[in-house]
Chains A and B, each alone.
Chain A
C-alpha cells in the first residue's frame, strides 16, 4: 500500500514537473517583455517583432490551459446537430488555412503557415457521401480535430508539412468517419501505442497530449478515435454516430 502511494506520488511529481516545464517557455518571453517595455518601447523591432513573439506565447499558454481543461472535463458538452464537414473546414480555416481553387473533384486544397509549429502546411480536405450530420458540440469537435492536426505538424521534421483530412459516410453505414493523416509526420511505433495514455504522454511532452484530449472529446460525444501507422503515413480515424437528417 505504502509502495503504491509512493509510486503515485512519484508519478504525480513527474507530471507536475512536465507541466511546469511546458508553461515555463512561454512565460520567459512574457516576463522579458514586461521587464523591457519601459526602456525599449521606442524600439520598433521590440514593439513589432517581439510583441508578435509574446502574442504567440500567450496564445500557446491559452492552448495549454484549454487542453488541460478538456482533459479533466467530465464530458459536459452540447448535444446539438452539427454538420461535421463544415465544422472541419471551419477548423482548418481558423487555423489559418486559405482555400485554394479546387484541386480535383470536390476536394479542397488549403495552405497556411502554422504559428505554433512554424510549419508551412498544405492540407487537403475531401469527402465521400452526402450527409454529414452528427449530434455533438461543434466547437469542441473543431478543437479535437485541431489538436490532431497540430500533433501531426509537431511530428513533422523540416518546414513543410502535408495533412490530409477526409470525411466519409457510406450509404450502408450510420456512422461518419473522419480521417486526419500525414505523410510527413514521423511517429515511433511505441509512441503511437501509448498516444492516448495521458500519463505516458504528459511525461514526454505536454503539447503532445493533444490526441488524448481529442479522444476524450470524441468519446464524450459517443464516438471513438484510433491511431494507426500505415505505410508512409500516420493517421487518426474518428467515427461518430450520424444523426438522422
Chain B
C-alpha cells in the first residue's frame, strides 16, 4: 500500500445487517469490499487484495476458522480480525 492509497478492507459475513453495518462504518476511511461467504471471500481476494479482513466466525459451509487458514495460506501478510458474538466464549476458547 502506498502512502496515498487508502487501506483496503474486506468484510465477510453471511448476515446482511452486520456486513452492511461494518461497510457503512468503515467506508469513509477505507476502500471496502464485502463477501457473504468464505467461498466468495476467496474469490474476492484474487481481485481486491485487501490489507485487512474482518470476518464472522460462524458462517455456513466454510466457517471463519477455515477461511482464516486459507487466507493465511494464500497471503500471510493479510491481517485478519475475527468477529464473534457468541453468548458463550466456550467456542473461541476451544478453538
Partner-B contacts on A (CB < 8 A): 17, 20-21, 24-26, 28-33, 36, 40, 46, 49-50, 53-54, 56-57, 118
Contacts and interface: CB of A to CB of B under 8 A. Distances in A.
A33 B22 CA distance: 11
A56 B21 CA distance: 13
25 contacts: A17-B87, A17-B88, A20-B87, A21-B85, A21-B87, A28-B15, A28-B17, A28-B18, A29-B21, A30-B17, A31-B21, A32-B21, A32-B25, A33-B21, A36-B24, A46-B24, A50-B20, A53-B16, A53-B17, A53-B20, A53-B21, A54-B17, A56-B16, A57-B17, A118-B16
Contacts of B87: 17, 20-21
Contacts of A17: 87-88
Contact of A24 (B20, B24, B85): B85
Q: Which 7 A-B pairs have the closest CB atoms?
A: A29-B17, A32-B21, A17-B87, A28-B18, A53-B20, A57-B17, A25-B15
A25 B87 CA distance: 12
Interface in B37-56: none
A21 B18 contact: no
A21 B86 CA distance: 7
Interface string B20-31: 110011000000
A29 B87 CA distance: 18
B20 to A, nearest CB: 5
Contacts of A20: 87
A50 B24 contact: yes
A40 B24 contact: yes
A67 to B, nearest CB: 18
A20 B17 CA distance: 16
B88 A25 contact: no
Contacts of B25: 32, 36
Interface string B64-95: 00000000000000000000011110000000
B11 to A, nearest CB: 12
A52 to B, nearest CB: 9
B27 to A, nearest CB: 8
A26 B16 CA distance: 9
A235 to B, nearest CB: 23
A29 B20 contact: yes
A161 B18 CA distance: 25
Given A21-B85, A53-B21, A118-B16, 10 more contacts: A17-B87, A28-B15, A28-B18, A28-B21, A29-B18, A46-B24, A50-B20, A53-B16, A53-B20, A54-B17
Contact of A26 (B17, B24, B88): B17
A30 B24 CA distance: 12
Contacts of B21: 28-29, 31-33, 53
A25 B18 contact: yes
Contacts of A29: 16-18, 20-21
A28 B21 CA distance: 7
Query: Most chain-A CB neighbours within 10 Å: which of B18, B85, B86?
Result: B18
Nearest to A32: B21
A49 B16 CA distance: 12
A31 B88 CA distance: 22
